């Protein structure tokens, strides 16, 4: 008699949930550490805030250090949009926080936008 064995289901980690949970924990840490939430770039204390990854998830997919506190910054929506539209602004944060070493790769890949002179 042949016996058919079903393979065990491998529990898959839902990376989306992990991502949201880690961001929420960082947001809460900033608020608890200071007694209020604020933008870590412009220091605004009112409005909506979100956690930004300095090294993007798309640059270091699945990297174990993606949610390391060194790679996260709490930003107001205005600054968050500014960071995404002006990627070179992160270069100083990459250097200050030692992110090249943390991720084992050069993350200073965005040049500053040079003004157009007419």
Structure confidence at residue 2 (pLDDT): 47
Summarize pLDDT for 81-108 with one digit per residue, the tens: 999 998 888 999 999 999 999 999 999 8
Summarize pLDDT for 53-88 with one digit per residue, the tens: 999 988 898 899 999 999 999 999 999 999 999 888
Phi and psi at residue 74, to the nearest 5°: -90, 125
Structure confidence at residue 67 (pLDDT): 92
Q: Does residue 28 have a pLDDT over 50?
A: yes
Cα 116 → chain centroid? 31
Query: Which pairs count as long-range contacts for 52-58, CB under 8 Å and 24+ apart, including other chains?
Result: 52/80, 52/83, 54/90, 54/93, 54/94, 54/97, 54/99, 54/107, 55/94, 55/99, 55/103, 55/107, 57/19
């Amino acid at each position: 008699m042949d016996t058919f064995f079903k393979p065990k289901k491998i529990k898959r980690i839902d990376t989306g949930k992990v991502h949201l949970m880690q961001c929420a924990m960082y947001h809460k840490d900033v608020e608890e550490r200071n007694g209020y939430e604020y933008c870590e770039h412009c220091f605004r204390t009112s409005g909506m805030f979100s956690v930004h990854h300095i090294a993007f998830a798309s640059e270091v997919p699945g990297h174990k250090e993606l949610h390391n506190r060194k790679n996260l910054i709490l930003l107001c929506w205005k600054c968050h949009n500014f960071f995404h539209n002006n990627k070179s602004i992160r270069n100083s944060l990459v250097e200050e926080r030692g992110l090249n070493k943390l991720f084992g790769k050069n993350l200073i890949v965005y040049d500053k936008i040079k003004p157009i002179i007419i």
